[in-house]
Amino acid sequence: MKILLINQPLNNRGDEAAHKALIRTLLVKIPNIQIKVLYVDCYSQEGLNQFKIPSLNVDYVNIKSFWWYSVIGPRSLINNKSFLWPIHPTTHDVIKVYSWADFVVCAPGGICMGGFQNWEHLFFLKLAKYCKKPLIYYGRSVGPFPTETKNNRLFKKISLEMLDYMSFIAIRDLKSNMILKDFHKACSLTVDTAFLEKPNVSLPYEIKKLIGTKPYIVFVPNYLLWHYAYKNQGTEEDLTDFFSNIGKGILKQYPDCNIVMLPQTFANENKEDNDIIFFRKIAEKINDNRILLTADCYSSDIQQTLISKASFLVGARYHSIVFAINQNIPFISLSYEHKMTGLLQCLDLTEYEIDIQNIFKEKQNILNLFYTKIKTNIVKPNVQEKAQSIAYECTNKLLNIMK
């Protein structure tokens, strides 16, 4: 069986965990499987290298683009130039890879089909239909679908067309699931594919030296200004102040613990939302020697193992909460997007959530609620088992379709 994986996000430990768990599961379940993971002009070779599964059955294909690719490729959906696909050198090479596959699977990830309105994401989906290949949308979140502009409406129209074409849709959170139900689109409800496995690896010496023997809380802030919903809503200073107050609240409630700040993004030194740079600014504002900052070079397996030994986790990143649940660690979710709320709804865990979508308008109210919730440090029993069970049940549906 030959599987082509498209639209795989990079440079994020959560996406890495989702990718590795899915690929490793498929390799076990279908021993003769051949998998290709497709990129065009992969912007981060280091990021790609850190995602790679070392297997002869998995090949990572990175096609170099030629002139006018962006217009004749992704932007062709806006400009209605799909008739040029077969004759353009880059799209011709991409189509050859699609022709090789028995199934095209859209990799687990965020809301490219929705608020971010990612045309490249839609382009790779549309190519599956063009090549008449079965298309599977797996472990994704979707929505919302604004209609204010012509481009908004066109994006929504093509998204719904592709949803109709798909052979199987598995949505990883309840909120996204309800959005598709409102459009009368049949889909299976699942959870993140990272729940397919529970990594437990040896921690590197430098991590052991950093954390020592003192108990610790894992803290994962989020720069947020990278997100379409928060641009022009506030400043970096506002976010630094908010998250420094969160950190101070943790230290006040847990005076005998250190805080380990765990970067989720990596290999993006030149970007404004670099976790290391942002975390350092927060740590400087807290100004307490109990704040420990790890490097961003440690794999998702190492991060989950580090979280498994923590006393508590406070996370404003989706996968930080996935990791906490997967490792049976008490947490507070600072939910900045509907995918976080949707995950917690799936697992009946909304009592451990604080909605921060109005962070710039209601900062003090959110902080006051956090100071109350930080006193709760229990985790419901069997939650990890429930999440894993949902993930495996949906994977079995996927396997049945592909077989």
Co-location of 223 and 156 in the same domain: no
CB 91 within 8 A of CB 68: no
Residue 305 included in any domain? yes
CATH of residue 366's domain is 3.40.50.2000
Comparing 27-31, 47-51, 173-177, 386-390, which segment has the lowest mean pLDDT?
47-51
Question: 323 in a domain, yes or no?
Answer: yes
Asked if residues 188 and 170 have their Cβ atoms less than 8 Å apart, the reply is yes
Entry pTM = 0.96
**Do 9 and 142 sit in the same domain of this protein?**
yes
Residue 127 domain-assigned (yes or no)? yes
> Between 29 and 375, whose confidence is greater?
29
Residues 141, 114 contacting (CB under 8 angstroms): yes
Average pLDDT, the chain: 95
pLDDT tier, 273 (very low <50, low <70, confident <90, very high otherwise): low
Closest CA to 138 of 179, 105, 104: 105
DSSP string, 357-378: TTTTTSHHHHHHHHHHHTT---
Residue 177 lies in a domain: yes
Q: Is residue 284 in a domain?
A: yes
Read off the pLDDT band of 271 (50, 70, 90): low
DSSP at 43? S
Q: Give the pLDDT of residue 270.
A: 57
Tokens representing 144 are 């919302």
**How many structural domains is the chain composed of?**
2
We report the CATH number of the domain holding residue 57 as 3.40.50
pLDDT tens for residues 335-359?
Answer: 999 999 999 999 999 999 999 999 9
Sheet arrangement for strand 135-140: 58-63, 34-40, 2-6, 103-106, 135-140, 168-171, 188-189
199-221: pLDDT as tens digits: 999 999 999 999 999 999 999 99
Domain boundary among 157, 189, 221: 189
Residues 222, 317 contacting (CB under 8 angstroms): yes
| Distance set, CA 121 to CA 31, 51, 275, 397, 398 (Å) | 29, 19, 25, 24, 21
Whole-angstrom Cα Rg for the chain? 21
pLDDT above 80: residue 268: no
Instruction: Give the per-residue pLDDT at 29.
Output: 95
Co-location of 133 and 29 in the same domain: yes
Residue 397 inside a domain? The answer is no
Q: Which domain range does residue 82 map to?
A: 2-189
Residue 269 has pLDDT above 90, yes or no: no
Residues 224 and 113 in one domain: no
The HSE-up count of residue 73 (CA atoms within 13 Å, CB side) is 23
Asked if 149 and 22 sit in the same domain, the reply is yes
In terms of domains, do 177 and 325 share one? no
Specify whether 110 is located in the same domain as 22: yes
What beta strand segments (E) does 17-164 contain? 34-40, 58-63, 103-106, 135-140
Q: Which of 124, 159, 189 is the last residue of a domain?
A: 189
d(CA 387, CA 385): 5
Tokens at 200, concatenated: 């437990």
Instruction: With cut-offs at 50, 70 and 90, classify the pLDDT of residue 377.
Output: low
Residue ranges of alpha helices (H) inside 108-171 are: 119-130, 150-165
Both 162 and 19 in one domain: the answer is yes
272 pLDDT band, cuts 50/70/90, is low
Report, as an integer, the average pLDDT of 265-292.
88
Residues 98 and 226 grouped into a single domain: no
- Do both 216 and 360 map to the same domain? yes
At 35, list the tokens: 């998998």
pLDDT tens per residue across span 220-263: 999 999 999 999 999 999 999 999 999 999 999 999 999 999 99
* pLDDT over 90 at 63, yes or no: yes
Apex 313 CA angle, 254 and 329, nearest 5: 105
Residues 174 and 296 in one domain: no
* 227 vs 221: CA distance, rounded Å: 14
Asked whether the predicted pLDDT for residue 79 surpasses 70, the reply is: yes
pLDDT at position 287 is 97
For the residues 387-399, what does the mean pLDDT come to? Answer: 97
Does 196 map to a domain?
no
Q: What is the pLDDT of residues 140-163, one digit of tens each?
A: 999 999 999 999 999 999 999 999
pLDDT greater than 60 at residue 22: yes
Q: Does 269 lie in the same domain as 170?
A: no
* Nearest residue to 5 via CA among 113, 207, 111, 140: 140
pLDDT of the residue at 403: 82
Residue 197 inside a domain? The answer is no
